[in-house]
Amino acid sequence: MKFYCKWGGVETYQAWNRPLDEQIREWYKSLDIDIPLYICGNVVEKHSPTFDVDIMLRDEVPLDEMSEVFTHCITKGFKHKLLIDIAYVSEWYSKPFKPFYKIRPDNQFYKDLNGATYHTIYKADKVEQLAPQLWRFDYDKPNSNYYKGLNRNYNFTGILLDKF
Protein backbone atom coordinates (compact mmCIF):
# COMPACT_ATOMS: atom_id res chain seq x y z
CA MET A 1 0.00 0.00 0.00
CA LYS A 2 1.29 3.44 -0.96
CA PHE A 3 0.25 6.19 1.44
CA TYR A 4 1.15 9.83 2.01
CA CYS A 5 -0.53 12.60 4.01
CA LYS A 6 0.33 16.20 4.80
CA TRP A 7 -1.69 18.03 7.46
CA GLY A 8 -0.67 21.04 9.52
CA GLY A 9 2.87 20.96 8.17
CA VAL A 10 3.31 17.36 9.38
CA GLU A 11 3.87 14.56 6.89
CA THR A 12 3.38 10.82 7.28
CA TYR A 13 3.67 7.73 5.11
CA GLN A 14 1.82 5.61 7.66
CA ALA A 15 -1.94 5.20 7.28
CA TRP A 16 -4.14 5.62 10.33
CA ASN A 17 -6.92 3.47 11.73
CA ARG A 18 -10.50 4.24 12.61
CA PRO A 19 -10.15 5.69 16.10
CA LEU A 20 -10.94 3.53 19.10
CA ASP A 21 -11.65 5.12 22.49
CA GLU A 22 -8.71 3.40 24.18
CA GLN A 23 -6.36 4.41 21.35
CA ILE A 24 -7.47 8.04 21.78
CA ARG A 25 -6.85 7.84 25.53
CA GLU A 26 -3.34 6.47 24.91
CA TRP A 27 -2.64 9.30 22.46
CA TYR A 28 -3.88 11.85 25.01
CA LYS A 29 -1.68 10.38 27.77
CA SER A 30 1.34 10.75 25.46
CA LEU A 31 0.87 14.51 25.08
CA ASP A 32 3.10 16.97 26.88
CA ILE A 33 0.78 19.98 27.13
CA ASP A 34 -1.13 21.78 29.89
CA ILE A 35 -3.97 23.26 27.82
CA PRO A 36 -7.48 21.78 28.10
CA LEU A 37 -8.52 19.98 24.93
CA TYR A 38 -12.03 18.88 23.96
CA ILE A 39 -13.03 15.90 21.86
CA CYS A 40 -16.12 16.24 19.68
CA GLY A 41 -17.58 15.15 16.36
CA ASN A 42 -18.40 11.60 15.32
CA VAL A 43 -16.11 9.99 17.90
CA VAL A 44 -18.39 11.44 20.58
CA GLU A 45 -21.70 11.70 18.73
CA LYS A 46 -21.48 8.14 17.24
CA HIS A 47 -23.54 9.10 14.17
CA SER A 48 -21.39 7.05 11.77
CA PRO A 49 -17.91 5.48 11.60
CA THR A 50 -15.14 8.04 11.21
CA PHE A 51 -11.45 8.12 10.39
CA ASP A 52 -10.56 11.32 12.26
CA VAL A 53 -10.60 12.57 15.82
CA ASP A 54 -11.97 16.09 16.16
CA ILE A 55 -10.12 18.00 18.88
CA MET A 56 -10.94 21.56 19.89
CA LEU A 57 -8.95 24.08 21.85
CA ARG A 58 -11.11 26.68 23.61
CA ASP A 59 -8.59 28.62 25.71
CA GLU A 60 -6.99 31.60 24.02
CA VAL A 61 -3.23 31.12 23.95
CA PRO A 62 -0.44 32.97 22.13
CA LEU A 63 -0.29 32.00 18.46
CA ASP A 64 3.21 30.50 18.70
CA GLU A 65 2.03 28.25 21.54
CA MET A 66 -1.12 27.31 19.63
CA SER A 67 0.97 26.32 16.62
CA GLU A 68 3.23 24.17 18.81
CA VAL A 69 0.20 22.44 20.41
CA PHE A 70 -1.33 21.73 17.00
CA THR A 71 1.91 20.29 15.61
CA HIS A 72 2.53 18.23 18.76
CA CYS A 73 -1.00 16.77 18.72
CA ILE A 74 -0.91 15.92 15.01
CA THR A 75 2.58 14.38 15.20
CA LYS A 76 1.67 12.24 18.23
CA GLY A 77 -1.57 11.31 16.51
CA PHE A 78 0.25 9.94 13.48
CA LYS A 79 2.56 7.98 15.81
CA HIS A 80 -0.56 6.41 17.38
CA LYS A 81 -2.10 5.77 13.92
CA LEU A 82 -4.71 8.49 14.46
CA LEU A 83 -5.72 11.44 12.30
CA ILE A 84 -6.10 14.35 14.70
CA ASP A 85 -8.24 17.15 13.25
CA ILE A 86 -7.43 19.93 15.71
CA ALA A 87 -8.53 23.56 15.79
CA TYR A 88 -9.26 26.47 18.09
CA VAL A 89 -12.91 27.61 18.07
CA SER A 90 -14.13 30.92 19.43
CA GLU A 91 -17.65 29.51 19.97
CA TRP A 92 -19.24 26.10 19.90
CA TYR A 93 -21.85 25.74 17.18
CA SER A 94 -25.16 26.91 18.59
CA LYS A 95 -28.85 26.99 17.81
CA PRO A 96 -29.59 29.57 16.59
CA PHE A 97 -26.34 30.11 14.71
CA LYS A 98 -23.86 32.65 16.12
CA PRO A 99 -20.91 33.89 14.04
CA PHE A 100 -17.59 32.39 15.13
CA TYR A 101 -14.07 31.78 13.95
CA LYS A 102 -11.85 28.75 13.85
CA ILE A 103 -8.05 28.62 13.76
CA ARG A 104 -6.65 25.56 12.01
CA PRO A 105 -3.08 24.33 11.54
CA ASP A 106 -3.44 24.50 7.75
CA ASN A 107 -5.68 25.82 5.01
CA GLN A 108 -5.81 22.43 3.35
CA PHE A 109 -5.59 18.68 3.88
CA TYR A 110 -3.82 16.34 1.45
CA LYS A 111 -3.86 12.55 1.35
CA ASP A 112 -2.78 10.08 -1.35
CA LEU A 113 -3.68 6.40 -1.01
CA ASN A 114 -2.48 4.12 -3.80
CA GLY A 115 -2.67 6.96 -6.32
CA ALA A 116 -6.14 8.17 -5.27
CA THR A 117 -5.83 11.75 -4.06
CA TYR A 118 -8.02 13.45 -1.49
CA HIS A 119 -7.27 17.18 -1.35
CA THR A 120 -9.50 19.60 0.55
CA ILE A 121 -8.98 23.34 0.64
CA TYR A 122 -10.93 24.78 3.57
CA LYS A 123 -13.31 27.64 2.90
CA ALA A 124 -15.03 30.26 5.05
CA ASP A 125 -16.57 33.71 4.71
CA LYS A 126 -13.11 35.12 5.42
CA VAL A 127 -9.75 33.30 5.48
CA GLU A 128 -6.52 34.78 6.79
CA GLN A 129 -3.08 33.27 7.33
CA LEU A 130 -1.86 34.21 10.83
CA ALA A 131 1.46 32.36 10.85
CA PRO A 132 3.20 29.68 8.75
CA GLN A 133 1.02 26.91 10.24
CA LEU A 134 -2.01 28.88 11.48
CA TRP A 135 -5.04 29.92 9.44
CA ARG A 136 -8.10 31.78 10.69
CA PHE A 137 -11.50 30.97 9.19
CA ASP A 138 -14.35 33.38 9.98
CA TYR A 139 -17.92 32.12 9.62
CA ASP A 140 -20.53 34.88 9.50
CA LYS A 141 -23.27 32.51 8.35
CA PRO A 142 -23.87 28.77 8.80
CA ASN A 143 -21.60 26.50 6.77
CA SER A 144 -22.12 22.95 5.48
CA ASN A 145 -20.63 21.39 8.66
CA TYR A 146 -23.14 23.31 10.76
CA TYR A 147 -26.04 21.97 8.70
CA LYS A 148 -24.55 18.46 8.75
CA GLY A 149 -24.47 18.62 12.55
CA LEU A 150 -28.06 19.86 12.72
CA ASN A 151 -29.22 17.02 10.46
CA ARG A 152 -27.39 14.50 12.65
CA ASN A 153 -28.80 16.02 15.87
CA TYR A 154 -25.35 16.75 17.27
CA ASN A 155 -25.33 18.46 20.64
CA PHE A 156 -22.53 20.79 19.42
CA THR A 157 -20.41 20.53 22.56
CA GLY A 158 -17.24 18.70 23.32
CA ILE A 159 -16.04 16.57 26.19
CA LEU A 160 -12.86 17.48 28.03
CA LEU A 161 -10.30 14.89 26.97
CA ASP A 162 -9.30 14.14 30.54
CA LYS A 163 -12.98 13.10 31.16
CA PHE A 164 -13.22 10.97 28.00
Instruction: Name which residue leads in pLDDT, 135 or 156.
Output: 135
Which pTM value belongs to this model? 0.94
Instruction: Name which residue leads in pLDDT, 1 or 139.
Output: 139
| CA distances for 132 relative to 64, 67, 75, angstroms | 10, 9, 17
Whose CA is closest to 76, among 25, 40, 134? 25
State residue 158's pLDDT score: 87
Overall number of domains in the chain = 1
* Residue 25 scores a pLDDT above 70: yes
Structure confidence by residue, pLDDT tens digits, 39-50 = 998 899 888 899
State residue 156's pLDDT score: 67
State residue 148's pLDDT score: 84
Rounded Cα–Cα distance for residues 83 and 2 (Å): 17
End-to-end CA distance of the chain: 33
Range of the domain at 142: 3-163
Rounded Cα–Cα distance for residues 18 and 98 (Å): 32
Instruction: Name which residue leads in pLDDT, 148 or 137.
Output: 137
Low-confidence winner among 36-50, 105-119, 129-143 (lowest mean pLDDT): 36-50
Region of residue 9 (phi > 0: left; psi between -120 and 50: alpha; otherwise: beta): left
Instruction: Give rounded-to-5 percent helix, strand, coil for the chain.
Output: 25, 35, 40
